[in-house]
Amino acid sequence: MKSIGVGILGLGTVGSGVVKIIKNHQDKLMHQVGCPIEVKKILVKNITKERDVEVSPNLLTTDVNEVIEHPEVDVVIEVMGGIEETRSYILAALRNKKHVVTANKDLVAVYGSEIHKLASENRCDFYYEASVAGGIPILRGLVDGLSSDKITKLMGIVNGTTNFILTKMSKNGSPYEEVLAEAQALGFAEADPTSDVEGLDAARKMAILATLGFSMNIDLSDVTVKGITQITEEDLNYSKRLGYTMKLIGIAQQDGEKVEVSVQPTLLPDEHPLSSVNDEYNAVYVFGEAVGETMFYGPGAGSLPTATAIVSDLVAVMKNMRLGVNGQSSISPQYEKSLKEHSDIFSKYFLRIHVKDQVGSFAKITTIFSSHGVSFEKILQLPLKEKDLAEIVVVTHRASLQDYEEILQHLSDSDVVAQVKSSYRVEGDGVQ
């Protein structure tokens, strides 16, 4: 094999990183796969735009067909983003017998099974390591490193933007809007941060992780999602007081044949390893029946970390080409999807409520919890500046989500409750 031809869709931050790594690491890549890698064509919106990577103008095109139909392109790397248009390009590339590597989590979460099917039919590889947690090899770890184990739980921080925001809010006591503006100025948050701060980006990644970890087709609509926009300084202060750190946590858990997948602000004990994952870093905890607990940690985004994952997938494609086994690595999900009901999902909960400061109020609240068989693990009761109101903060013992939702409804309807201020999931034990 004289060389491998690569076509790239997109030359933004990540695409530029891919070009740099292919150029600067050519010796190492040749040692890995036995032949040079050559970038043959790159799709861009504007050929004359100045870029921070040196590329011959002859390689640039605004016509996608010059990439996906190029006779010397063996592998198409997609780093342009988007869903519908990008899907059509990738499907066309596979029909043209081009292997595909992408960093597009949105695309994989929505159309992954369709793309895998077409790739297998055309004996092509479809890899997407960079779609989850940037430079952390979590997908390869699940598919290859832990392939002999039964994964029971995946839990982690998979969005760097929200982790940066919560870190700054917690450490500096800064309000959400101020920290969001700082994250945008530093390039950690988009001008429209909705996908990140409302948990949608993390949800897409958890759908991908759960599909691979449990060998079950998990769709984005199967993920319960709650973002960070309602978290207040008071919530963070009470969390600290009780020995917890607040993080936006993705959880995928399997018990028996049923699974739950969610993304939500969660209180973790201060000593939990995920509590010390700060700023834009990502980390994923994997629980296996045989291996026990493992953790994958590293930069969750950025040009070169993400590009490293993409080029690693490129190397995997090239090794498969040498062995003649392209399109054979994709394994269809083994199990039918079976989601838990709310009565099957158990957790502890943090709850902050404002109640009327009068005799019998706390007794009425306790009765609501006890009628559902839910008891308190921790309780704080404090007076408020507002006349005739008190604040109660509790952490419950484990309860089903169904019971807890009914408790919240009864509290909202109670004549002694002025307002349910906030409610969050709790994993593990804080200060005893």
Annotated catalytic residues are 205
β strands within 114-191, DSSP E: 126-127, 151-157
How many CA within 13 A on the CB side of residue 60? 18
**In which element (H, E) is residue 100 found?**
strand 99-102
Residue with token string 């807890």 = 404
The rounded distance, in Å, linking the Cα atoms of 367 and 30 is 70
Q: Which residues of 170-179 are buried (b: 16+ CB within 10 A; e: fewer)?
A: beeebebeeb
β partners of residue 101: 77, 127
Tokens for 54? 């040196």
Answer whether 179's CB lies under 8 Å from 169's CB: yes
Answer whether 99's CB lies under 8 Å from 75's CB: yes
Q: Which are the contacts of 332, defined by CB distance < 8 A and separation ≥ 6?
A: 116
